[in-house]
Structure 1
């Protein structure tokens, strides 16, 4: 498969695929004499894993870990699950932080008279 074909199958852009190659997240494909990349089923599977993992919020390094686990004949499902649970914990921490930020911003907004005056209690509070 050429880069355009595999990109269409996976739902990625050729630029993304070249980026994954450059960062060594994806093994470099065989190059034909004309310089075109020739992708295999293994590339297709790896790209599907990357795409899905990225879609659910995994970073490039986390994708690297998942790919390593996927390729390892010695992997244990508990190792894969541990990776997922770590991601869930990180997301939970981010949700908690964003909830706190939202509460603070809501409190600031509630203090604002929302009128034509130049004094702004929001800015005053942010300057503390």
Structure 2
């Protein structure tokens, strides 16, 4: 099947399939006499594996490791588990960061009058953080709040 068909069958865009080939994540597709790529059902299966791993947030380097383990019939499931556990830890860290950002923005929104006046603690916070002041602490009496990293 051609790249468009492989893309539709796998859920991976043609652009990403080319990228995965270029970076070596997947083997280069066989070529027809016409020069067009020719993908097999096993290629599509591999692309679905990659798509699912990407959906779970794995980085390309981790997916490469997982693909190598997937292909290795003498693999140890503990190796796969370690990769997944490390990924979970990174996801939990990211969730915590996102929750802190949401809490900071919620506080800033609550402090903003949202009226016709130009004063806005949200913009003030963004301005100060942009000037290198990202201490995460509220500035006394100014209505400017900081996110605590």
User: What TM-score do you get using the length of structure 2 for normalisation?
Assistant: 0.77
**Correspondence for 2:57:** 57
**Correspondence for 1:2:** 2
Distance 1:48 1:112 in 2: 46
**Correspondence for 1:27:** 27
**Correspondence for 1:117:** 117
Structure 2's unaligned 5+ residue stretches are: 134-149
RMSD of aligned alpha carbons: 1.7
Paired residues of 2:20 and 2:26 also in contact (CA < 8 A): yes
CA deviations on 1:28-61 (whole Å, 9 max, x unpaired) are 1221221021222331221111011111211211
CA deviations on 1:73-115 (whole Å, 9 max, x unpaired) are 3311111111111111100000001111111111111111222
Structure (1 or 2) with the greater helix fraction = 1
Distance 1:25 1:48 in 2: 13
Q: Provide the secondary structure at the position in 2 that maps to 1:42.
A: helix
Aligned length: 128
Distance 1:60 1:25 in 2: 8
Alignment of 1:58-97 (within 5 A): 58-97=58-97
Structure 1's unaligned 5+ residue stretches are: none
User: What TM-score do you get using the length of structure 1 for normalisation?
Assistant: 0.88
Deviating above 4 A after TM superposition, structure 1's stretches of 4 or more consecutive aligned residues are: none
